[in-house]
Amino acid sequence: MSTAPLLEVQGLTKRYGGVTANRDVAFRVAPGELVGVIGPNGAGKSTLFDLLTGFQRPNAGTVALDGQDITGLRPDIVSRRGVGRTFQKLKPFAGLTVLENVMVGAFQKTADPREARDRARAALSSVGLGGKEDAHARVLSNGQRKRLELARALSTRPRLLLLDEVTGGVDQGSIPGLVELVRGVHAQGMALLVIEHNMRVIMDISQRIVALHLGEVIGDGPPEAVARDARVIEAYLGRAYTRGAPESPGA
Ligand SMILES: Nc1ncnc2c1ncn2[C@@H]1O[C@H](COP(=O)(O)OP(=O)(O)OP(=O)(O)O)[C@@H](O)[C@H]1O
Ligand SMILES: [Mg+2]
């Protein structure tokens, strides 16, 4: 890759007791690039996001954003440096309105309540929840909660956005709209790292794919190449995908 990387991960290792959730993980994300992250359940995908965003500290390795070391910084500081994320397990503040939920994210970048409200409104409208601002988060469908989570992350105005299972747990009918939102965010020039079990979706939207298995990177390259990689097929894709009938392994 000739351009300087936006994100550079080297030797990232995380152990939980006897489990090595990430082992010597290394890869790069270029500015504006959309990189997919795949791998079976327990491969270490969400752990990787926790390490990149300061929710967990690695046992070894480094994370650099724009050439600056951000390894082990607190989540709020990583967020201010420009890395946003969504969570696999959605936990909206049920007692707050949709707008208030997103303002929590916007306050990462501004202390001014009016500014936070404006940013939150803009983020909600960009994900199609413009009419739901005053609703309580608890009344939202799963697909709408994914949109809320995306708006919360977008309101921090990240340069790099990490999405943990955008289409996971939503009904089939909600998937195309969510995929279009991700495409739209990417088209604005944002770099994205996207964990996704739906192979049709991730093969379609990614410029590159990093495959994890047992905490290690077992594949990194263009989607077509990773989909043909023997180790990736063995560890994750099985034969269904190579036969041209993409399922959603591990979902
Ligand atoms: N906070 C934690 N404490 C202890 N073990 C953990 C913790 N988080 C993750 N693990 C373990 O680390 C391994 C990787 O988990 P992780 O959640 O990163 O996998 P994943 O690839 O995101 O899986 P999935 O596709 O099911 O979401 C698993 O064995 C998991 O049990
Ligand atoms: Mg996960």
Model confidence, pTM: 0.92
Q: 46 CA to middle of ligand 2, Å?
A: 4
- Using a CB cutoff of 5 Å, list residues around ligand 2, an ion: 45-46, 88
Q: 130 CA to middle of ligand 1, Å?
A: 34
Closest by CA to 186, choosing from 23, 34, 24, is 34
User: Which of 164-168, 190-194, 240-244: highest mean pLDDT?
Assistant: 190-194
pLDDT of residue 145 exceeding 60: yes
Give the phi and the psi of residue 221 in degrees, each rounded to 5.
170, -170
Burial of 15 (C-beta count, 10 Å sphere; 0-12/13-18/19+): middle
Rounded to whole angstroms, the Cα distance separating 165 from 196 reads 5
Of the chain, the end-to-end C-alpha distance in Å amounts to 32
pLDDT of residue 118 exceeding 60: yes
Rounded to whole angstroms, the Cα distance separating 112 from 22 reads 39
For residue 239, what pLDDT is reported? 59
For residue 10, what pLDDT is reported? 98
Rounded to whole angstroms, the Cα distance separating 125 from 131 reads 8
User: Which of the following CATH numbers is that of domain 1-82+159-251: 3.40.50.1110, 3.90.550.10, 3.40.50.300, 1.10.20.60?
Assistant: 3.40.50.300
Whether 54 and 78 have beta carbons less than 8 Å apart is answered as: yes
- Number of alpha helices (DSSP H) and beta strands (DSSP E) in the chain: 10, 10
| Residues with a CB atom less than 6 Å from ligand 1 | 16, 19, 21, 39, 41-47, 88, 250
Rounded to whole angstroms, the Cα distance separating 84 from 74 reads 13
**Tokens encoding 42:** 């327990």
Q: Picking from 100-109, 132-141, 158-167, 238-247, which range would have the lowest pLDDT averaged per residue?
A: 238-247
pLDDT of residue 220 exceeding 70: yes
For residue 237, what pLDDT is reported? 84
Task: Tally the C-alpha atoms within 13 A of residue 201's C-alpha that lie toward its C-beta.
Answer: 26
Q: Mean per-residue pLDDT for 16-30?
A: 97
pLDDT of residue 243 exceeding 50: no
Of the pLDDT bands very low, low, confident and very high (cuts 50, 70, 90), residue 241 is: low
Q: 133 CA to middle of ligand 1, Å?
A: 33
Whether 63 and 71 have beta carbons less than 8 Å apart is answered as: yes
For residue 249, what pLDDT is reported? 56
* Three-state SS at 221: strand
For residue 245, what pLDDT is reported? 44
